[in-house]
Amino acid sequence: MIHKNNKINTLTHILIWLVLFSMPYVLSYGQSQEINRIIAHFWIPLASYAIIFYLNYFLFIDRYLFTKKTLLFLVLNLIAISLFITLIEQIEVSFFSELMRKPSEDKGSPRFKMFFYVQMLSYMAPLLFAIAIKTTHRYIKTEAENQEAIQHKLQSELKHLHYQLQPHFFFNSLNNIYSLVDVSPEQAKSSIHSLSKLMRYLLYETNLEKVPLSKEIEFLKKYIDLMKLRVSEKTNVEYSFPEQLSTIQVAPLLFISLIENAFKHGVSGSKESHIKIVMATEDNKILFTIENSNFPKKTDDKSGSGIGLVNLEKRLQLLYPNKYSFDTSVEEGVFLVALEIETA
């Protein structure tokens, strides 16, 4: 891409100078043209402007102006411009005096001084153009580098959150299986087998930026079925997912923390409880809601490490800025979660 941009820049410069050098012919089309007059009045000054432009474009601006050696930058340009003005005056006097219809003049005359000052001002145009173009290029390059750095930081943070989520999920699942070992060894064995399938998805299929929603739903269903093994008959678990799936793709593992949270805080060993999980799609939107009985854990309960919802909030901010809504509330002993994501 950089090589391609350099070629475009080079061609652009060549085209611009070709247009400028051909202007006398274009403007005087159909009229008699004197090559000496074109050389004297146009080509020689234009060539000197081009030299001043490229001296600054390739050398002076990068080496002196951008390194804050402003005084040296100004002095070098003043010397270069003065040399060109003097050189052009000598060429005109020596070779084109008859054409210019003016006698050789004393360098100290007011007319020469006026000529010198006017020419000095005319050389400001290529100098300022060079400064403007280089400054613009530098700004664009700096902005591109800043954006790249920001993207790299975001990707690193997302990877950190992703890797943080995997052991968190694994730890919660092991806690649930551990609770089954004494009560129902067969269910514990079945749970370990189911967990191995879930971990395979975690390790090999969630490293992509986005996955098909169908795969994510399949993973969620397996996890819910795994969690249902450890709850008693007093807990009613319902879930509903879209049957006909579109081509929606979503960042992996966004919903698992909410389901984990529902099983962690929505199940009681002695009281009736319920968990209801519903996902629906509408165009490119995913609507995900959970309602569960609210049995808050004690502050000294460290099961699950408590990072799930915080992790989810951070990932949503990074992955779907201004494209999601996430609300939680407690109403009459029921914990409610509503997550809406615009995937396109």
Beta bridge partners of 289: 278, 338
- The DSSP secondary structure of 73-96, one letter per residue, reads HHHHHHHHHHHHHHHHHHHHHHHS
Which of 163 and 77 is assigned the larger pLDDT?
A: 77
Asked if residue 175 and residue 119 are part of one domain, the reply reads no
Asked if residue 106 and residue 188 are part of one domain, the reply reads no
What is the chain's mean pLDDT, rounded?
77
Range with the lowest mean pLDDT among 112-116, 244-248, 326-330?
A: 112-116
Asked if residue 262 and residue 217 are part of one domain, the reply reads yes
Instruction: Check pLDDT > 70 for residue 76.
Output: yes
Asked if residue 157 and residue 122 are part of one domain, the reply reads no
Asked if residue 180 and residue 36 are part of one domain, the reply reads no
Q: Which of 144, 170, 193 is the last residue of a domain?
A: 144
d(CA 339, CA 324): 7
Per-residue model confidence as pLDDT tens digits over 82-101: 888 888 777 766 655 554 44
Binned at pLDDT 50, 70 and 90, residue 35 comes out as low
Instruction: Check pLDDT > 50 for residue 305.
Output: no
In terms of pTM, does the model score above 0.95? Answer: no
Phi, psi of 44 (to 5 degrees): -65, -50
Asked if residue 158 and residue 64 are part of one domain, the reply reads no
CATH number, domain at 315?
A: 3.30.565.10
d(CA 56, CA 31): 37
Asked if residue 229 and residue 109 are part of one domain, the reply reads no
Structure-token pair, residue 141: 């390059």
> How confident is the model over 4-17, as a mean pLDDT?
71
Q: Which of 123, 144, 165 is the last residue of a domain?
A: 144
Asked if residue 156 and residue 134 are part of one domain, the reply reads no
Asked if residue 266 and residue 181 are part of one domain, the reply reads yes
Contact in structure between 169 and 260 (CB atoms under 8 Å): yes
Q: Which of 80, 113, 144 is the last residue of a domain?
A: 144
Asked if residue 140 and residue 181 are part of one domain, the reply reads no
Q: Give the per-residue pLDDT at 290.
A: 95
CA distances (Å), origin 185, targets 157, 177, 179, 182, 197: 40, 9, 10, 6, 19
Asked if residue 338 and residue 195 are part of one domain, the reply reads yes
In this structure, the strands spanning 334-342 and 211-212 are: unpaired
Instruction: Check pLDDT > 90 for residue 49.
Output: no
Residue span of the structural domain in which 171 resides: 151-342
Of the chain, the percentage scoring pLDDT greater than 70 comes to: 71
The number of folded domains in the chain is 2
d(CA 165, CA 254): 10
d(CA 64, CA 61): 6
Smallest CA-to-CA distance from 240 within 226, 220, 257 is with: 220
Asked if residue 165 and residue 139 are part of one domain, the reply reads no
Binned at pLDDT 50, 70 and 90, residue 329 comes out as very high
| Other Cβ atoms closer than 10 A to 78 | 12
Instruction: Check pLDDT > 50 for residue 296.
Output: yes
